[in-house]
């Protein structure tokens, strides 16, 4: 019993240090989760932008092709002598 009593302050100190480590770990995990969520959100946003850019390029390319179609037809139907 006396040995347990002598070790009690050490056990309490150890217990408090374990709690501190756990709280620090929890804080670090929350911070990294927040950062990771931000990164995922940015990645989603970038993919969305890329998709919008690709769509716009496809539409623009289609518009250019269709606007050049009459010219291409005219050139093929009436070649230069």
Give the contacts of 31 (CB within 8 A, at least 6 positions apart).
none
Hey, where are the domains in the chain?
Answer: 1-81
Structure tokens at 49: 């932008």
| Tens digit of each residue's pLDDT (9 = 90 or more) over 9-64 | 555 567 777 778 788 888 888 888 888 888 888 888 988 989 988 888 888 888 87
In whole angstroms, how far apart are CA 79 and each of 42, 73, 74? 53, 10, 8
* 2 pLDDT above the threshold of 50: no
- pTM for the model: 0.45
Q: State the pLDDT confidence band at 1, using cuts at 50, 70 and 90.
A: very low
DSSP string, 11-78: HHHHHHHHHHHHHHHHHHHHHHHHHHHHHHHHHHHHHHHHHHHHHHHHHHHHHHHHHHHHHHHHHHHS
């Amino acid at each position: 019993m006396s040995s347990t009593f002598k070790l009690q302050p050490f056990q309490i100190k150890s217990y408090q240090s374990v709690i501190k480590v756990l709280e620090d770990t929890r804080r670090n995990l929350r911070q990294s989760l927040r950062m990771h969520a931000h990164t995922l959100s940015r990645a989603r946003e970038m993919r969305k932008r890329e998709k919008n850019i690709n769509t716009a390029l496809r539409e623009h390319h289609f518009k250019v092709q269709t606007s050049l179609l009459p010219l291409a037809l005219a050139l093929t139907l009436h070649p230069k002598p």
